[in-house]
Structure 1
Amino acid sequence: MSCTSCYLSSCVRRVPVFKGLADAEVALIEGITQSKHYGKGSLVCVEGEQSDALFVLHTGMIKLTQSSRDGKEHILRFLFPGDYCGQFSMLKNTESYVNAEMLEEGTVCCLRREQFLPILAGNATLAYNFLLSMSEQLQYAEDWAGAMHMLEVEQRLAKILLYFYSKDGAVLSNETHPRKILLPASKKEIAAMIGTTAETLSRKLNLFTKWKWIAVSKRVIDILDLNALIEMSEIGTSRKM
Structure 2
Amino acid sequence: MNCQCHTPTGSCVRNVPIFKGLNDEEFCQIQQAVNSQTYQKGKFIFQEGEQSDTLYIVHKGMVKVSKFSDDGKEQIIRLLFPGDFFGQYALLENKQHHAHAEVLEQASVCSIHKDDFRQILERSPNIAMKYMMVLSERLQAADEWIGAISLMEVERRLAKALLSFYEKEKKLNFELPVSKKDFASLIGTTPETLSRKLVSLSELKLIKLNGRKGIELFDIEGLKEIAGLA
Specify if TM > 0.5: yes
More moved, 103-112 vs 138-147: 138-147
Q: TM-score, normalised by structure 2?
A: 0.92
> Cα distance 1:181–1:132, how it changes in 2: closer, same or farther (>3 A)?
farther
1:221 to 211, 215, 220: 215
Cα distance, 1:193 vs structure 2: 1.8
Q: Which residue of 2 aligns with 1:175?
A: none
Q: Which residue of 1 aligns with 2:184?
A: 191
Q: Which residue of 2 aligns with 1:14?
A: 15
Q: How far apart, in 1, do the equivalents of 2:187 and 2:67 lie? A: 16
Q: Where does the alignment leave 5 or more consecutive residues of structure 1 unmatched? A: 1-5, 172-177
Tell me the amino acid that sits aligned with residue 197 of structure 2.
K
Q: How far apart, in 2, do the equivalents of 1:75 and 1:13 lie? A: 27
| Higher strand residue share | 2
Runs ≥4 residues deviating over 4 A: none
Q: Which residue of 2 aligns with 1:86?
A: 87
Note the alpha carbon deviations across 1:61-118, whole angstroms, 9 max, x for none: 0000112222322100100001011111232122111211100001100001111111
* Equivalent residues of 1:64, 1:76 under 8 A apart: yes
Tell me the amino acid that sits aligned with residue 137 of structure 1.
R
Q: Which residue of 1 aligns with 2:38?
A: 37
Cα distance, 1:215 vs structure 2: 0.5
Note the alpha carbon deviations across 1:198-230, whole angstroms, 9 max, x for none: 111111111111111001112121000000000
SS in 1 for 2:208: strand
* Equivalent residues of 1:64, 1:78 under 8 A apart: yes
Q: TM-score, normalised by structure 1?
A: 0.88
**Matching of residue 117 in structure 1 with residue 102 in structure 2:** no
More moved, 123-132 vs 36-45: 123-132
Q: How far apart, in 2, do the equivalents of 1:36 and 1:107 lie? A: 6
* Equivalent residues of 1:7, 1:34 under 8 A apart: no
Q: State the number of aligned residues.
A: 223
Tell me the amino acid that sits aligned with residue 75 of structure 1.
I
Cα distance, 1:191 vs structure 2: 1.1
Aligned CA RMSD, in angstroms, stands at 1.6
Q: Which residue of 1 aligns with 2:64?
A: 63
Tell me the amino acid that sits aligned with residue 30 of structure 1.
Q
Cα distance, 1:121 vs structure 2: 2.3
Cα distance, 1:19 vs structure 2: 1.0
Q: How far apart, in 2, do the equivalents of 1:230 and 1:161 lie? A: 10
